[in-house]
Amino acid sequence: MDAYKKAGVDINAGYKLVDEIKQLSHNDALGAFGGMFPLSLGHYQNPVLVSGTDGVGTKLLIAIKAGIHDTIGVDLVAMCVNDVLAQGAKPLFFLDYLGTGHLNQSEAKAILTGVVDGVSQADAKLVGGETAEMPDMYQHGHYDLAGFTVGIADQDKLLKSDNLREGDVLLGLASNGLHSNGFSLVRDILFKQNHYSLDETLPGCQLDLKHELLRPTRIYVKSVLPLIEQGLIQSIAHITGGGLIENVGRILPDHLDAAFNLNSWQVPAIMTNLQKIDHLSFNDMKQTFNLGLGMVLAIHPTDVDRVKAELEKAGETVYQVGKLVSGSKKVVIREDLL
């Protein structure tokens, strides 16, 4: 082991980290060769497993530059479990991957503390993962993250475009800022083309850039899943890479358009600042950023008041942002107020 440590890999540090994550997650089974999850089918009549995997993208570079690592794990979990939720599934368990050139014990613990927090917010279980120390693979101080989740749903109750009909109402759930997409453009605008400091605060923003950019992605499982189980939600778009245009377009049938009214919700100040600084077109904005909506739900009109009330009671900020109209699978957003 001394020879391996001399080559840049500290096995004992990895063992210690596993022990710490066991304590954080209250799962003594962590560290086994395979993660285990007891599968109780419960009320599921025709169960189907729904899986998702994702990363955090170049938002990691902001975390590294800022030296703030305790929320990026929440982002990792959110990117996976929100996707599974959008299919109509309940997330069951999560696994993570952390790759680094040199294992920094305190940094890794902060990252994985965020993962444990995210898994708790998703009402799921952390069943395993991998921490890989690979000298020469990563620049000094850099790391990468990936996550994987599995959920369960009734085959007949999956959220599909077949559920949608003309006149359905679109409800938007407020995002927590940028979430985890568009950061290559963000970094280009703020730190390459211009030379903003992470300690600066942009107009209209409540936080300095290091905290504004690292706002963790919202996890919508606990507020949205009960409504799915009651049959009150017809379809969901998780607004990630590609913005509103691509992600809402993914849930539409061929004969319907999604018509959004930009007057109906608040676009976060960080996004309007980015647009002004780089003179971005509205087309760039709507195809890159979530514009303040982390998730869009399609609801039958008769259920809208009930759904809004339950979401607000669960702590969500909810906007009635548009409706489904006859069309050809397009997403149309009024542009005049951005």
Structure tokens at 152: 């369960």
Structure tokens at 196: 């903003």
Q: Residue length, the chain?
A: 338
Q: Which residue has the tokens 């066991």?
A: 22
Give the pLDDT confidence of 39-56 residue by residue, as tens digits. Answer: 777 788 899 999 999 999
Give the pLDDT confidence of 88-127 residue by residue, as tens digits. Answer: 999 999 999 999 999 999 999 999 999 999 999 999 999 9
Q: 143-154 and 90-100 as β-strands: parallel, antiparallel, unpaired?
A: antiparallel
Rounded distance, CA 286 to CA 2, Å?
A: 53
Tell me the residue type at 5. K
Q: Indicate if the pLDDT at residue 334 is higher than 80.
A: no
Rounded distance, CA 184 to CA 162, Å?
A: 35
Q: Indicate if the pLDDT at residue 204 is higher than 70.
A: yes
Domain boundaries, the chain: 2-31+47-157, 161-333
* Cβ neighbours, 10 Å, residue 162: 10
Rounded distance, CA 230 to CA 313, Å?
A: 16
Q: 293-299 and 169-174 as β-strands: parallel, antiparallel, unpaired?
A: antiparallel
Per-residue pLDDT at 320: 97
What's this model's pTM, rounded to 2 decimal places?
0.91
Considering only CA atoms, which of 140, 149, 145, 41 is closest in space to residue 93? 149
Q: Which residue has the tokens 């189907």?
A: 48
Give the pLDDT confidence of 162-178 residue by residue, as tens digits. Answer: 999 999 999 999 999 99
Q: CATH: 3.40.50.2300, 3.30.1330.10, 3.50.50.60, 3.40.50.1370. Which one for 2-31+47-157?
A: 3.30.1330.10
Band of the pLDDT at 35, cuts 50, 70, 90? confident
Per-residue pLDDT at 34: 75
Q: Which residue has the tokens 């963000």?
A: 186
Rounded distance, CA 266 to CA 263, Å?
A: 8
CATH, range 161-333: 3.90.650.10
